[in-house]
Amino acid sequence: MKKLPVEFYDRDNVVQIARDLLGKIIITKFDGHTTSGKIVETEAYIGGHTDRASHAYNGKRTARNEHMYASPGISYVYICYGMHHLFNVVTNKKNIPDAVLIRAVEPLQGIDIMLQRTGKLKLDNTLTKGPGNTGKALGISKEHSGLNLLGNKIFICDDDIFYAKNEIGMSARIGVEGAGDDALHPYRFFVKGNKFVSGYPNK
């Protein structure tokens, strides 16, 4: 497997990047532990003035979302509901705050470590179903926001997994109802029928 190059992230179509991330392998290496999972669900968020669901809508720039404005291939991690650490991939050029939320992965390596981190006793689909569970299982927290994804702590690799068009589902994003009409955009992508996909539809 090879790490995705910066050119993968340095594109102006974040919706396409969200689709392209399906099947890629996210790997974390923290405190001597390696964990990994195959990305099976993503959501795209467009910076600027076109997507009210984005943390950077209308150019909003705060300490919380500052890493959205970073160079392509940087991590953006934020805390949701005061407890869930959600991992995003920053795309496009520096100061253009596009990002892809990793909503779910299929566990691959280090499942015993993932179980310890989440307090679960056995592997089932709840281990990494949903962005909060994914972040926890992979050991990702707010302190990892701003990391370069070409580094050695969090990175994403291409394992030559390819999904045909009919294997990929597309829907509105989850939990962004307050974004008005922008909540209806089909910016969520998922691997059809994968048991780790967090929302509906999942087939």
DSSP states of 135-185? HHHTT--GGGTT-BTTSSSEEEEE------GGGEEEEPPSS-GGGGGGGGS
List, for residues 64-121, the tens digit of each pLDDT value: 899 999 999 999 999 987 889 999 999 999 999 999 999 999 999 999 999 999 999 9
Mean pLDDT value across residues 45-58: 91
Phi first, then psi: what are they for 4, rounded to 5°? -65, 135
Q: How many helices (H) and strands (E) does the chain have?
A: 4, 9
**Residue 80 resides in a domain:** yes
**Average pLDDT of the segment spanning 48-56:** 90
What is the percent of the chain where pLDDT is above 90? 89
Q: What is the mean pLDDT of residues 182-186?
A: 94
Give the model's pLDDT for residue 48.
84
The answer as to whether 76 is a domain residue is yes
pLDDT in tens, 129-144: 999 999 999 999 999 9
> Has residue 125 been placed in a domain?
yes
pLDDT at residue number 203:
84
Distance CA 52, CA 58 (A): 8
In one-letter notation, the amino acid at residue 97 is P
State the total domains in the chain: 1
Q: What is the CATH number of the domain that holds 62?
A: 3.10.300.10
Structural domain includes residue 196: no
Residue 30: pLDDT band with limits 50, 70, 90: very high
Q: Is residue 202 part of a domain?
A: no
**Tens of pLDDT along 141-159?**
999 999 999 999 999 999 9
pLDDT > 70 fraction of the chain, expressed in percent and rounded: 100
Residue 200 pLDDT exceeds 90:
no
Range of the domain at 46: 2-191
The β-bridge relationship of strands 75-80 and 188-191 is unpaired
pLDDT at 18: 98
The confidence score (pLDDT) of residue 55 equals 92
Tell whether 55 is covered by a domain. yes
The single-letter code of the amino acid at 124 is D
- Which amino acid is present at 13? N
Query: Quick check: is 198 in a domain?
Result: no
Considering the entire predicted model, what is its pTM? 0.96
In a domain, 197, yes or no: no
Q: Which of 30-34, 61-65, 145-149 has the lowest mean pLDDT?
A: 61-65
Tell me the pLDDT of the chain averaged across its residues: 96
pLDDT at position 129, please? 97
